[in-house]
């Protein structure tokens, strides 16, 4: 009984596997086994921008009672907010919103 070879003598099984993978473009295999999860498209709700009053209530109540905006004038609030921005580690945008609110409510 004569055995027939499936591949020519110069083509080995690993070479045949590589040729098959190249012929398929490897795209099929990469879609089946992906290292990165596919990003699902989700509808995100718009982020609500907090007002100066809300930021003041959230941030300043963490360490002490809130002060009334009328307790200090605008110049004093400028100094206080600058100091508290460093102490409370407030982002610049939030500190500006709080300062704007305090100055408007201070009235002077």
Expressed as residue numbers, the domain containing 62 is 52-106
How many domains, the chain? 1
Q: What is the CA radius of gyration of the chain?
A: 34
Q: Mean pLDDT in each 10-residue stretch from start to end of the chain (108 residues)?
A: 60 58 54 59 80 91 88 93 92 94 86
pLDDT, position 43: 78
pLDDT, position 75: 93
Per 3-state DSSP, the chain is made up of helix, strand and coil in percentages (nearest 5) of: 55, 0, 45
99 within domain boundaries: yes
pLDDT, position 6: 65
pLDDT, position 52: 92
58 within domain boundaries: yes
pLDDT, position 48: 83
How far is the CA of 41 from the CAs of 31, 38, 44, in angstroms? 18, 9, 9
7 within domain boundaries: no
Report the C-alpha gap between 47 and 99 in whole angstroms.
22
């Amino acid at each position: 009984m004569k055995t027939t070879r499936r591949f020519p003598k110069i083509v080995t099984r690993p070479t045949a596997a590589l040729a098959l993978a190249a012929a398929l473009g490897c795209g099929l295999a990469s879609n089946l086994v992906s290292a990165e999860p596919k990003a699902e498209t989700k509808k995100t709700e718009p982020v609500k921008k907090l007002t100066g009053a809300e930021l003041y209530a959230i941030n300043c109540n963490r360490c002490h009672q809130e002060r009334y905006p009328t307790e200090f004038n605008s110049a004093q609030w400028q100094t206080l907010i600058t100091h508290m921005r460093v102490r409370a580690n407030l982002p610049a945008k939030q500190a500006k919103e709080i300062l704007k609110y305090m100055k408007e409510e201070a009235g002077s």
